[in-house]
Amino acid sequence: MRKPVLLTPGPTQVPEEVLASASLPIMHHRTPQFEAIFEEAAENLKYIFQTENPVIMLTSSGTGALESSVINLCSPGDKVIAVNGGKFGERWIELCQTYNLDLVEITIPWHRTVKPEEIEKALQENPDAKVVFTTLSETSSGGVTDIEGIAKITRSSSAILVVDAVSGLGVTPLYTDKWGVDVVVSGSQKGFMLPPGLAFITMNEKARKAMETSTLPKYYFDLKKAYKNAEKNTTPWTPAISIIVQLNIALRMMKEEGIEAIYARHHQLSEAIRQGVKALGLTLYNEDTGDCCIAVNIPKGVDGGKFVKLARDKYQVTFAGGQGSLKGNIFRISAMGNVGPNDVILGLAAIERVLADLGYSFEKGKGIAAAIDYLAK
């Protein structure tokens, strides 16, 4: 029986050695043995984040890190700017509304990402804005935002730039310190090639200074406690011990490969996918598509509701469907994490077989051939 292939933008496929490490006997988290593992993971996280600042590990999904950034930087009534340009941009909006912040919303169509000049305009109109919340990789639509360009603007303002890099970190370029990004948050089940359950957040001095005046209520996600404990290679609460053990293995693998090689690998595999689907006559949804998630329009006359189910249940290849208004209109495919060329070819083969099953007319094998031709070069 063939092993199922997971080509979704999270959770992603986990390497066998990382999976195997989860079967090791559980250890107590208040011991020198675990503290040594924690310390190594914390140091290697800095490499993936491309920062010299500490990276905090939270036992939660990525949304926990998003919420922690809101409640640790802001006070009731603070003016903030948030980009609403997809399902995960909407999450920033909902979090800001939950905590009664004075929200300036930049709403953009899902088929593109926010432009630096739109952030600049919002800051010019709202010079008292304390925080700008945006998203590196919008997995609901496949877009990748120009964070470097946005950071050039926020660096010269008093506003703190917070980037949701849950699905982008370790996949597409993000140089936290070099670009001057103040806060970056991420999660374990994407580029880190891990099961869900860990979230990460790093802050520079500008952001940590703002933390000192924040008065929003916080307890479990109080980052002051987290930073204080991190200095002693521990956490204020019981951590996800087994996932941190797995994290350590995954980070060693990522550091050995090298961050630039990781970016190049994701780009090559993603471009092979793009070449393959375009050869079949399919079109991409997002004009700013990147290497984290590729959103592909369901062709006219094809039942979008059946597409993902058929690929998963009949051909054992899992893609993601559309979310919100895009449900049934797109499918999403990703080469994120532990994915290689053979997985990409299997994915394109599944796309071709499903399209044929659903009555779409195309030259069979053309998508696979286009991908193989690109990868061969």
Residues 251 and 313 in one domain: no
Residues 133 and 207 in one domain: yes
Average pLDDT over residues 57-67: 98
> Does residue 49 carry a pLDDT above 60?
yes
Of the candidates 21, 27, 33, the residue with the CA atom closest to the CA atom of residue 233: 33
Q: Which helix or strand (DSSP H or E) is residue 100 part of?
A: none
CATH number of the CATH domain containing 230: 3.40.640.10
pLDDT band at 3 (very low <50, low <70, confident <90, very high): confident
Of the candidates 371, 295, 362, the residue with the CA atom closest to the CA atom of residue 7: 295
Of the candidates 351, 311, 348, 303, the residue with the CA atom closest to the CA atom of residue 327: 303
From the CB of residue 63, how many other CB atoms can be counted at a distance below 10 Å? 17
At 306-345, the pLDDT tens digits run 999 999 999 999 999 999 889 999 999 999 989 999 999 9
Residues 139 and 37 in one domain: yes
AA identity, residue 320: A
> Does residue 1 carry a pLDDT above 60?
no
pLDDT exceeding 70 applies to what percent of the chain?
A: 99
Residues 35 and 233: beta-carbon distance below 8 Å: yes
Q: Domain count of the chain?
A: 2
Q: Which of 257, 277, 293 is the last residue of a domain?
A: 257
The Cα–Cα gap between 254 and 26 comes to 24
Average pLDDT over residues 245-267: 98
The Cα–Cα gap between 165 and 49 comes to 10
Quick one: three-class SS letters along 156-168? CCCCEEEEECCCC
Residues 236 and 317 in one domain: no
Residues 219 and 248 in one domain: yes
At 109-140, the pLDDT tens digits run 999 999 999 999 999 999 999 999 999 999 99
pLDDT band at 100 (very low <50, low <70, confident <90, very high): very high
Residues 247 and 309 in one domain: no
> Does residue 245 carry a pLDDT above 90?
yes
Which structural domain, as residue segments, surrounds residue 199? 16-257
Average pLDDT over residues 347-369: 97
pLDDT exceeding 90 applies to what percent of the chain?
A: 98
Q: Which of 230, 257, 284 is the last residue of a domain?
A: 257
Burial of 217 by CB count in 10 Å (0-12 exposed, 13-18 middle, 19+ buried)?
Answer: exposed
Residues 32 and 97 in one domain: yes
What φ, ψ does residue 244 adopt, rounded to 5°? -70, -35
Report the alpha-carbon angle 342-348-266, nearest 5. 60
Residues 125 and 186 in one domain: yes
Residues 145 and 276 in one domain: no
> Does residue 2 carry a pLDDT above 90?
no
Q: What is the DSSP annotation of 102-161?
A: EEEEEE--TTS---HHHHHHHHHH-TT--EEEEESEETTTTEE--HHHHHHHHTTSSPEE
Of the candidates 214, 217, 209, 184, the residue with the CA atom closest to the CA atom of residue 78: 214
C-alpha Rg value of the chain to the nearest Å = 21
At 163-187, the pLDDT tens digits run 999 999 999 999 999 999 999 999 9
CB burial of 10-48 (b: ≥16 within 10 Å; e: otherwise) equals bbbbbbeebbebeeeeeeebeeeebeebbebbbebbbeb
pLDDT band at 83 (very low <50, low <70, confident <90, very high): very high
Residues 150 and 213 in one domain: yes
Residues 271 and 374: beta-carbon distance below 8 Å: yes
AA identity, residue 169: L
At 194-231, the pLDDT tens digits run 999 999 999 999 999 999 999 999 999 999 999 999 99
Q: What token pair was written down for 23?
A: 């079967």
AA identity, residue 180: G
* Confidence at residue 96, expressed as pLDDT on a 0 to 100 scale: 98
The Cα–Cα gap between 138 and 65 comes to 16
Q: Whole-model pTM above 0.95?
A: yes
Residues in the chain: 377
Q: What is the DSSP annotation of 264-278?
A: HHHHHHHHHHHHHHH
**Cβ partners under 8 Å of residue 215, min gap 6:** 75, 76
Residues 85 and 151 in one domain: yes
Q: Which helix or strand (DSSP H or E) is residue 288 part of?
A: none
Residues 112 and 60: beta-carbon distance below 8 Å: no
Residues 144 and 172: beta-carbon distance below 8 Å: yes
CATH number of the CATH domain containing 362: 3.90.1150.10
3-state secondary structure of 258: coil
Q: Which of 212, 237, 257 is the last residue of a domain?
A: 257
Residues 70 and 94 in one domain: yes
